[in-house]
Structure 1
Amino acid sequence: MGVSVAIAGNWRTVVGFPYNVSCRQGDGLRRQYARAAHLRAVIIADPHVRNIPQQEKQPMIRAFLFDMDGTLIDSEILWVEAVEMALRDRRIAVTREEALDIVYGISWDEIYEIIACRYPGVFEDMQAMYADLQPRFLALRDSHDVLIPGSIALLKRLSKDYPVAIVSGSFEKDVAHGVRLMGVEPYIRFFLSGDHYAPGKPNPACYRMAAERLGLPPDACLAFEDSEAGIRAAKDAGMYCVALARPDRPWQDVSRADWALEDLNDFTPEAYAQRQGDPGQM
């Protein structure tokens, strides 16, 4: 079950743990799931060769979709810091590991749900939380180099031969600013933000919407993601997915991805098709 909350006048569905599960039980379930996921994790020995099960169906990729936060822009870790600051300003002691557990690879709906569950009354609603966190995030972003060069280079390269779009869970104004910051507006067909669809990742609604806008079936699209939630969204939509698994960022379960790379600049459609067993399909 979920609950609907009003965000800037729009109703969105919060997806996460059932509300008949206590905060303590919910945290326990999250830890159990993380441990189980860790056992399923892909052991990476070489950035170009990954032991990830191949799809039985061979790819005919006709479009590419990019997540933004953590995939194109190294912004997710800054949201973690923003949450830390907001909670500490309210005299709530929080460790980096706790903040990572709240934020990293998790949709905004679930972030609010977790905070409201663990720290009742800290934020009146989602809109109040975002209004508090965004200025903190902007100050951090302006003092850091947040671009991920290899990912941006890949987006620009692919756009020469394929339709490319961005599918993000962030709010529209943050995605629009990110597009300008990366200088990729001429290279993408469109972007989707969390304001455009519901529920958020890991629900596949965002990727299904993107495929519909491109006029393509989901299995003609490949998504680039950095988080477990994003990978789940892409795969459950029926798309192929390549994970960005950087060793200097918090661990995510990428075992459902079709390929995992430490730098997306190492990706080529030809190498991916060959990896999947048919080099002539792209």
Structure 2
Amino acid sequence: MIKACLFDLDGVIVDTAKYHYIAWKELASEMGFEFTLEHNERLKGVSRMASLDILLEIGGVTKSTEEKEELADRKNEHYRSFILQMKPDEILPGAKEFLTECKKNGIATALGSASKNAMTILERLELTKYFDAIIDGTNTTKAKPDPEVFLKGADALNVPPSTCVVFEDAEAGVEAAISAGMKCVGIGSPSILSKANMVVSGLNEIKLQDIIKLQ
């Protein structure tokens, strides 16, 4: 029996990709080179420090480890300045409705995100109350596809992993869910998320009764 739903944040609940791109673009501009949308494709699903290495490679810039830390912090400051202006109307279609449906039917909910800004984003979107547990980059050490974030979510909800369904938009996230022994609903392209039990374009295309069928 499904007892809990675990959600990734970016691409599932909200789309902050545009803010990441603008923040990286600003950082590149400060260093004297251009960062394009085409370049940005290389950063999808990549950690902040790995993304910075790609950015520096694109610009032909070499920095020390200490300088890289400072640049990563500066990028995050740019990003935070954007997300602090976010409003509830930026919630992706169907997300709030699906979370509400979970609550009404006694299904526990948790966020499972690598973002260290997850709490700030949820507060800006006024969604904090919809989650029984929030596991983010401030209390995890291993990146997806490692299952740590989802296993911690199940533990926080006090439910067995086998009773959880994960909602993910990235291939690494789907693999993390499978490694955790959980069912997974992919949000996005079936060709990229083929390992998921089910793939839909958004939470507006799915009902809780569809999840029960995954058992």
TM-score w.r.t. structure 1 length? 0.66
AA partner of residue 204 (structure 1): P
Deviation at 1:272, TM superposition (A): 3.1
Contact kept, 8 Å, 2:133 with 2:157, in 1: the verdict is no
Task: For 1:188 and 1:159, locate their aligned partners in 2 and report how far apart those are by CA, in whole Å.
Answer: 9
Contact kept, 8 Å, 1:67 with 1:167, in 2: the verdict is yes
RMSD: 2.6
AA partner of residue 111 (structure 2): I
**What is the aligned-residue identity percentage?**
25
Consecutive unaligned residues of structure 1, counting only runs of 5 or more, are: 1-59
Tell me how many residue pairs correspond in the alignment: 210
Return the match for 2:20 from 72, 75, 79: 79
Return the match for 2:47 from 107, 120, 129: 107
Task: For 1:81 and 1:202, locate their aligned partners in 2 and report how far apart those are by CA, in whole Å.
Answer: 26
Deviation at 1:164, TM superposition (A): 0.4
Output aligned runs, 1:103-252, within 5 Å: 104-112=44-52, 114-115=54-55, 119-121=61-63, 124=66, 127-141=69-83, 142=85, 146-160=90-104, 161-171=106-116, 174-245=117-188
AA partner of residue 156 (structure 1): T
The structure whose residues are more often helix, as a share, is 2
Contact kept, 8 Å, 1:169 with 1:200, in 2: the verdict is yes
Give the secondary-structure state (helix, strand or coil) at the position aligned to 1:94. Answer: coil
CA deviations on 1:35-82 (whole Å, 9 max, x unpaired) are xxxxxxxxxxxxxxxxxxxxxxxxx31100111122111102320221
Residue 197 to residue 158, structure 1, CA distance change in 2 (3 Å): same
Task: For 2:141 and 2:172, locate their aligned partners in 1 and report how far apart those are by CA, in whole Å.
Answer: 14
CA deviations on 1:209-267 (whole Å, 9 max, x unpaired) are 11122222211101111112222211221111112117xxxx98211111111121222
Deviation at 1:86, TM superposition (A): 0.8
AA partner of residue 154 (structure 1): F
Deviation at 1:269, TM superposition (A): 2.7
AA partner of residue 136 (structure 1): H
TM-score w.r.t. structure 2 length? 0.84
Contact kept, 8 Å, 1:225 with 1:241, in 2: the verdict is yes
